[in-house]
Structure 1
Amino acid sequence: MGFKNLNISYQYRSDQESGNIIKDFYIPVLSQTKIYKRAVGYFSSGSLMLAAKGISELIDKGGKMQLIASPRLNEKDIEAIELGYRLREDVIEDSIIRSITKPTTLLMKERFNYLAWLIANEQLDIKIAMTRNVLSYGLYHEKIGIMEDWENNKIAFSGSSNETEGGLYNNFESIDVFCNWQDGDDIRVQRKELDFEKLWGNSTSQLEIIEFPQVAKERLLSYRTSQYAERDPEIEVTHVDINKSNLNTPRMPENLEIRDYQKEAIKSWFRNECKGLLEMATGTGKTITAITAVTKLWEVTQRLAVIVVCPYTHLVDQWVKDLKKYNMSPLIAYNSRNLWEEDVNNHITAFQSGAINHFCLITTNATFSLPHMQVILRKLNKNVVFIADEAHHLGAESSRKLLIEEFPYRLALSATPNRWYDEDGTDSLLSYFGNQVVFQFGLEKAIGKYLTEYYYHPHIIYLDEDESEKYYEVTRKIVKLFPKDGNFKNDDSKGLTSLLIERARILSRARNKLIKLKELLSNRKDSLYNIVYCGDSSVDGERQIDAVSKLLGNDLDMKIHSFTSREDAIQRKELLERFETGDLQALIAIKCLDEGVDVPATQNAYILASSTNPREFIQRRGRVLRKHPQKKYSYIHDFIVLPRELDQIELIEPTLFNMERNIVKRELTRLSEFADLARNGPLAHEEIAKVKHAYNLLNF
């Protein structure tokens, strides 16, 4: 049987008035297809899923598939090519790898499995289309398909503008279909096939076709399982597997020893009717404490929906690993709603109807705040526990309005629950979680038992001559604008804020920081497990993080890598693994190592830049102090920049002295707190005392 025996419509739309696209078009047509030629626009996990619709029959019948897509280069990729930092092929390869995100739903996993089977059977060939002038940001963005059956009949179809790479199985999909045996359609089919063939053969004038990178092919092959579903899961999976869901109920892991303070935290939470906030230092096991509490609650209720919200995707991934240790199989919800919405809806419906007694959902703050997620979650009312990791992020006015009052059980986790300069946000957040910090376990209790002891070395850095002149110039402008009565006019306030920011940047990007860093590491070029925290400012037109990378990588010949927003999740995971094994000696970061990233091997931290926000330096210190078999102590080097030499301070006028004194006072809060708990605390305080004495802050 060929295409002519099928009942094919001229158009298919997601409203199903003209037929179900998967069931009535893709599956029956591909079951008769010898060669399937497909162009999907952007190369992404979404477009791969789109291309893999209904192809299980193609695998069975030995059909072949040709796929063309265009890499989605970002601004940094283009810049790297334009400035010659990296070869174009390497940038494109990284872009493609970056686009193949880990499948998170049954639908996504099975579609990737289909493609992996085609690759393994040599039934799939993929090529990448680039505009010949890659710097123009142009993209090949056609969305067409051509099918040919074993009797040489041909069908062509084109996707609507709604068929985007975000439409994995889509919000709304529409295709127009042409058959070469029908009057008027033959010329259309010929035209689309000719365009595809010219493209595949690299004969299209404005486009260049390159081979699919081997490393990307291997990434797709890694998603192949021992078998594949006979029918597309979008058709088959329309309900929750109730038996499986009931099996994956919370259960304590074997051989897991819960620490005494964690047990006390759980008891305190239960005493407060399963509401409250745990204020526990970074590295003391907040996540394990929370999941154990949930497991104990399940043992009591035997019916429980678990909702976990995290600020970052990497925290979601870490939670998933820990939840699985407790026999839970969490639904993961972030990125495109098409990846998770159906699964989440089905589980909530099954839970509300009593068909299942448990499910676990983990999501990000951003996804939790989306209107459609809010609508879905508000269907729940009883037997729900809501967990907020790094809960202080939810204290912002826009976020706390979305917290769901119907959830009876609530647990907040944070090492630093107080929001900086936001008492209302702190109070509102605490109110939602039961008006109580039910348990506190700070660094002073954890150091030496659950966290490593540390040595603290504050380094006083001075501005050089050029920087000092600029600093004084800006400060003089500030003095003129600063009203004696303290009452600002709107225009004055804006101008003053701008000048204060400019002056802070002068201190942040002080050149002598790099000189001191080089001095500290020159005799430790072979050392391992170093982290350098940089600011986002520039030194002589160069970002501080790039200047530090050149210093360590080129001048000192150390094996280093940046750890920033420029690196995607896959790259970050690889970097952390290399750091752990000692293949990388140092990671250079701005803020990406502040919350939720486990780097326990870290022995030496160099803090070139730090805000006066207590949360930032508390998080950083706790992260450095995590225990690891390879270290006995941790070492923290902290850089404080002063605008002038200490012996010059007594010469300046009172107004300027008071301004500088306030700046130094904010820095000294961090320095003093770090020194208090350090093994070399008295020596560290001696260094700090020099600054306190010069600025008359001995009682601070």
Structure 2
Amino acid sequence: MADVTLTFENGTLRVETERDVPFADSDPRSKTLRAPAFRYAAIRDYCEERGISVDDSVLDAPDLPPCYSAYELRDYQQKALDSWEDADRRGVLELPTGSGKTVIGVKAIERCQAATLVVVPTIDLLEQWRRILDTEFDVPIGQLGGGEQNVEALTVSTYDSAYLRADDIGDRFGLVLFDEVHHLGGEGYREIARLLAAPARMGLTATFERPDGAHEVVSELVGEKVFDVHVDELAGTHLAPYDVKRLTVELTPEERERYEDAQGVFTDYLASSSIRMRSGSDYQELVKRSGSDPKAREALLAKQRARDIMMNSEGKVTALADILDAHRDDRIIVFTAHNDLVYRLSERFLLPAITHRTSTPERRDVLDRFRRGEYSRVITSNVLDEGVDVPDANVAVVLSGSGSEREFTQRLGRILRAKEDGGRALLYEVVTEETAEVRVANRRR
């Protein structure tokens, strides 16, 4: 009789033994030990290293026919995959947008030859992964999300659907791939990884670290970052060489007056309070106080007014007009932080617009036309930052955005796919002088 018996039950491991087993705690209901499902590989390794016999019936994964991909890895992609292999098939790979992270994931499936769950943040990525897997591997592809709930040996799921189904299907896969793995740091989504028993785990992202530090949780659930390559290392070879130009604009006299008035209300409140706005927690404290303190609410609204003025200044509209005129023959994506500015500029310059309000069929139509060259420019808020297969462009214009390095990196990545003519990509940052936006722009760089 085996020293340890392992079974899977609703996202957990039932551990029957008289021995001490790491990560397993007493469960009075079953009178056994119980551990989170993601500890499966660690418990197996522990037992193997000590010669402890195991009766293991945890995985009930469907058979995967032999899967071989026609992709040939570039040198950095091969190094990334090898680094993951050397880390016992666990870990996060950080590569720039456009560098072929999906290809590495496909080759990981080929290496493991195991039933695989691919988890993605958006329907667009779900459809993209499903197309690629369907093309590369002659096997049925399951789908969780987008109106389908079908599990196969190769299955693609949204984070939302995986969250709802993980305890039920946690024993069905030997490998799990988390695309845009930084999303896994969210309070709810991290449960997906906890409830899956898959011993092999890969995370793919362009920007791993999260400002809230939740990437440390991802490291525990998926593995440490085992490979990274900076965009500058690939620019000019595997990615397009690029330039970043910052254009500064001024507020009009009327905008300046309104900005200073709003900013004054905000700074006056800070001076009379204990809030110093040195971190995100300070801002959260201001929001909290605004629920009961009228002056805090007035300060919060004033800050928002000042932000709207600097982010949507008339000078930015003029600058965009000049950029569009100077790049008549280029393919351009314009990024803003606000939907209102998207629609304002869309109407003024006759630019196809994509925001979170844009329906999926309309968004798909706009991007298809952009891909075919019927549209040479498009304007968007944050919805094209990640999770959408965006056609090639060579010019990006950041009219407004946050101080997030991730957001900046993702937007830059949208224009970095290598060009057939070997041309350089160009990103414009348009920043309003003598406003808080200067600090925001410096922070994201």
Matches within 5 A, 1:369-518: 369-370=163-164, 373-380=165-172, 384-403=174-193, 404-420=195-211, 422-423=212-213, 425-434=214-223, 436-483=224-271, 486-487=274-275, 490=289, 491=293, 494-518=297-321
CA distance in structure 1 between the partners assigned to 2:169 and 2:130 by the alignment: 20
Deviations 1:116-150 (A, max 9, x none): xxxxxxxxxxxxxxxxxxxxxxxxxxxxxxxxxxx
Deviations 1:633-667 (A, max 9, x none): 112111011247xxxxxxxxxxxxxxx5xx53331
Alignment match, 1:531 = 333
- Asked if residue 250 in structure 1 is aligned to residue 46 in structure 2, the reply is no
Alignment match, 1:589 = 380
3-state SS in 2 of match to 1:570: helix
Alignment match, 1:548 = 345
Deviations 1:432-454 (A, max 9, x none): 112x1111111011111111012
Matches within 5 A, 1:648-659: none
- Asked if residue 314 in structure 1 is aligned to residue 108 in structure 2, the reply is no
Q: Is the 8 A contact 1:599 1:624 kept in 2?
A: no
Deviation at 1:594, TM superposition (A): 1.0
Letter in 1 for 2:329: S
Deviation at 1:545, TM superposition (A): 1.2
Match of 1:361 among 152, 155, 158: 155
Deviations 1:367-404 (A, max 9, x none): 1112xx13421344xx6111110011110112213322
Deviation at 1:364, TM superposition (A): 0.5
CA distance in structure 1 between the partners assigned to 2:269 and 2:313 by the alignment: 25
Distance 1:416 1:549, change over 3 A: same
- Asked if residue 329 in structure 1 is aligned to residue 126 in structure 2, the reply is no
Q: Is the 8 A contact 1:528 1:584 kept in 2?
A: no
CA distance in structure 1 between the partners assigned to 2:267 and 2:361 by the alignment: 49
Alignment match, 2:22 = none
CA distance in structure 1 between the partners assigned to 2:360 and 2:273 by the alignment: 51
Deviation at 1:586, TM superposition (A): 0.9
Alignment match, 1:67 = none
Letter in 2 for 1:590: S
Q: Which moved more, 1:598-607 or 1:487-496?
A: 487-496
Matches within 5 A, 1:152-167: none
Deviation at 1:631, TM superposition (A): 5.6
Q: Is the 8 A contact 1:251 1:295 kept in 2?
A: yes
CA distance in structure 1 between the partners assigned to 2:296 and 2:220 by the alignment: 34
Deviations 1:403-426 (A, max 9, x none): 225221111111111112x11x11
- Asked if residue 562 in structure 1 is aligned to residue 344 in structure 2, the reply is no
Deviation at 1:564, TM superposition (A): 2.5
Match of 2:389 among 563, 576, 598: 598
TM-score, with structure 2 as normaliser: 0.77
Deviation at 1:501, TM superposition (A): 2.6
Deviation at 1:484, TM superposition (A): 6.1
Letter in 1 for 2:124: H
Q: Is the 8 A contact 2:96 2:413 kept in 1?
A: yes
Deviation at 1:550, TM superposition (A): 2.3
Q: Is the 8 A contact 2:92 2:225 kept in 1?
A: yes
Q: Percent identity?
A: 25
3-state SS in 2 of match to 1:592: helix
Q: Is the 8 A contact 1:316 1:362 kept in 2?
A: yes
Q: Is the 8 A contact 2:128 2:389 kept in 1?
A: no
CA distance in structure 2 between the partners assigned to 1:375 and 1:516 by the alignment: 52
Q: Is the 8 A contact 2:370 2:391 kept in 1?
A: no
- Return the structure number with greater relative CO, CA threshold 8 A, min gap 6: 2
Deviation at 1:325, TM superposition (A): 3.2
Deviation at 1:523, TM superposition (A): 4.7
Distance 1:405 1:313, change over 3 A: closer
Deviations 1:182-222 (A, max 9, x none): xxxxxxxxxxxxxxxxxxxxxxxxxxxxxxxxxxxxxxxxx
Q: Is the 8 A contact 2:94 2:206 kept in 1?
A: yes
Deviation at 1:630, TM superposition (A): 5.2
3-state SS in 1 of match to 2:414: helix
CA distance in structure 2 between the partners assigned to 1:411 and 1:335 by the alignment: 23
Letter in 2 for 1:252: S
Match of 1:576 among 337, 342, 367: 367
| Unpaired runs of at least 5, structure 1 | 1-244, 299-303, 348-358, 538-542, 554-559, 645-659, 674-700
CA distance in structure 1 between the partners assigned to 2:248 and 2:374 by the alignment: 32
CA distance in structure 1 between the partners assigned to 2:201 and 2:343 by the alignment: 43
CA distance in structure 2 between the partners assigned to 1:505 and 1:467 by the alignment: 10
3-state SS in 1 of match to 2:155: strand
Whose Rg is larger? 1
Aligned length: 367
Letter in 1 for 2:380: A
Alignment match, 2:14 = none
Q: Is the 8 A contact 2:122 2:388 kept in 1?
A: no
Deviation at 1:502, TM superposition (A): 2.6
CA distance in structure 1 between the partners assigned to 2:65 and 2:253 by the alignment: 66
Letter in 2 for 1:627: A
Q: Is the 8 A contact 1:323 1:329 kept in 2?
A: no
- Asked if residue 667 in structure 1 is aligned to residue 441 in structure 2, the reply is yes
Deviation at 1:329, TM superposition (A): 2.9
CA distance in structure 2 between the partners assigned to 1:531 and 1:405 by the alignment: 38
Letter in 2 for 1:374: A
Matches within 5 A, 1:45-194: none
Alignment match, 1:261 = 76
Q: Is the 8 A contact 1:252 1:292 kept in 2?
A: yes
Distance 1:335 1:320, change over 3 A: closer
Letter in 2 for 1:444: D
CA distance in structure 2 between the partners assigned to 1:464 and 1:389 by the alignment: 44
CA distance in structure 1 between the partners assigned to 2:130 and 2:421 by the alignment: 26
Distance 1:574 1:335, change over 3 A: closer
Deviations 1:36-77 (A, max 9, x none): xxxxxxxxxxxxxxxxxxxxxxxxxxxxxxxxxxxxxxxxxx
Q: Is the 8 A contact 1:600 1:628 kept in 2?
A: no
Alignment match, 2:108 = 293
